[in-house]
C-alpha cells in the first residue's frame, strides 16, 4: 500500500530536466499530483509525462525567465488563482553558468536565481502550503560551498571575481541554506517545515547546453557521476525521510550537517526579504 496517496500535491521548480524531471517521474509513479514551474518543455517523447498531463495529475506553468520579476509574478498569480494547496514545495530550479552575468535587477545571476527567487516563490506560495497536509519545503542546495573562503552580502550581489562552480554558484547555494536556517523558526509558527538538501553528484549535463562546470569536473561528471535519479531520491528523502521532523537543517549525504558562516544567516534573510518587499511586491496604488 502506498504510504503517500494521490491526494498529496508536490510543487517542483525546474521539473522538466535533470533531477527535477526524475523527481517528477518518481512522484507521479507514486500517484502524487505534481505542479511544475518550468522555463523549458518536458521531453516530447515521454509518454508517462504526457499521460499525466491528460489525467490532470501533472499541471504545468511556464515562465520565460525566473529572474524576470514581471514574468515570475504573472506565473505565480496564475498558480495562486488555480491551485488549492501544496503539500511539499521543492525549490529545485537553477544551475551553474559559464560566465559572470547579471539579472535585470542588477544582481549576479546565480544569486538571483539560486538564492532570491526561491525565497520569492516560498513567500508567494506560503498560503497554499498552509492549506497542505505535509507543509514541507525542500531547497536544493550543494556542498560546493565547502570551498568558500569569504562570504558577504556584497560578494553575493556583485562578485569581485568569477570561478566556475566554486565561485558565485557555491556562495549562492550557501546563502540559500543560510536563509533556510534563518527562516525556520518563523515558518514553524505557521506549521511549515523547511530544509535544504545536497542532492549529491549527478550527471545533469545536457546536450547543446553550455555548462558552468570546470572542464575536469564536466569530464568526471560524464564518466563517473550518478544519473539524476540519485539526486531525485535525495530530495525525496530530504522531504519524507528520517529527518522529516527537523526544520532549518542542511542535509548532506542524508545527515544533518553544519553550515559555514552561520553568523551571516540573518543578514542574508534580511536582505532577500528587503528585495522581495521593495522590488517584487507591486507598489500599492
Give residue 200's pLDDT. Answer: 86
Within a domain: 261: yes
Residues 6+ apart with CB under 8 A from 126: 187, 190, 192
Nearest to 239 by CA among 4, 2, 1, 56: 4
Q: How many domains does the chain have?
A: 1
Give residue 3's pLDDT. Answer: 43
Q: How far apart, in Å, are the Cα atoms of 160 and each of 59, 107, 153, 268?
A: 41, 13, 12, 18
Structural domain that includes position 217: 9-280
Report whether pLDDT(221) > 60: no
Report whether pLDDT(246) > 80: yes
Nearest to 26 by CA among 199, 229, 243, 237: 229
**At 4, is the pLDDT very low, low, confident or very high (cuts 50, 70, 90)?**
very low
Give residue 212's pLDDT. Answer: 61
Report whether pLDDT(5) > 50: no
Within a domain: 4: no
Within a domain: 2: no
Which CATH number covers residue 252? 3.40.50.720
The 10s digit of each residue's pLDDT in 162-220 is 988 889 999 999 999 999 999 999 999 999 999 999 998 765 655 655 566 656 556 55
Q: What is the pTM assigned to this prediction?
A: 0.92
Mean pLDDT of the chain: 91
Amino acid at each position: 500500500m502506498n504510504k503517500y496517496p494521490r491526494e498529496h500535491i508536490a510543487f517542483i521548480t525546474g521539473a522538466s530536466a535533470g533531477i527535477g524531471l526524475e523527481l517528477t517521474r518518481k512522484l507521479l509513479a507514486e500517484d502524487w499530483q505534481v505542479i511544475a514551474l518550468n522555463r523549458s518543455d518536458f521531453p516530447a517523447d515521454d509518454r508517462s509525462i504526457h499521460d499525466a498531463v491528460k489525467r490532470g495529475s501533472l499541471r504545468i506553468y511556464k515562465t520565460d525567465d525566473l529572474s524576470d520579476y514581471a514574468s515570475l509574478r504573472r506565473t505565480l498569480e496564475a498558480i495562486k488563482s488555480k491551485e488549492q494547496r501544496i503539500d511539499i514545495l521543492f525549490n529545485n530550479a537553477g544551475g551553474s553558468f559559464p560566465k559572470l552575468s547579471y539579472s535585470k535587477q542588477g544582481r549576479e545571476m546565480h544569486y538571483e536565481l539560486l538564492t532570491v527567487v526561491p525565497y520569492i516563490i516560498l513567500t508567494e506560495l506560503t498560503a497554499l502550503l498552509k492549506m497542505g497536509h505535509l507543509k514541507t519545503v525542500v531547497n536544493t542546495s550543494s556542498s560546493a560551498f565547502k570551498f568558500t573562503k569569504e562570504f558577504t552580502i556584497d560578494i553575493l550581489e556583485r562578485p569581485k571575481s568569477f570561478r566556475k562552480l566554486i565561485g558565485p554558484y557555491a556562495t549562492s547555494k550557501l546563502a540559500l541554506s543560510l536563509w533556510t536556517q534563518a527562516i525556520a523558526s518563523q515558518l514553524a509558527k505557521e506549521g511549515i517545515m523547511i530544509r535544504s538538501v545536497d542532492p549529491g553528484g549527478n550527471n545533469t549535463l545536457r546536450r547543446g547546453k553550455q555548462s558552468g562546470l570546470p572542464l575536469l569536473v564536466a569530464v568526471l561528471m560524464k564518466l563517473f557521476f550518478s544519473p539524476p535519479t540519485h539526486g531525485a531520491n535525495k530530495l525525496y528523502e530530504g522531504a519524507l525521510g528520517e529527518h522529516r521532523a527537523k526544520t532549518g537543517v542542511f542535509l548532506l549525504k542524508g545527515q544533518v550537517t553544519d553550515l559555514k558562516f552561520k553568523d551571516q544567516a540573518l543578514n542574508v534573510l534580511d536582505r532577500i526579504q528587503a528585495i522581495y518587499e521593495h522590488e517584487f511586491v507591486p507598489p500599492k496604488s
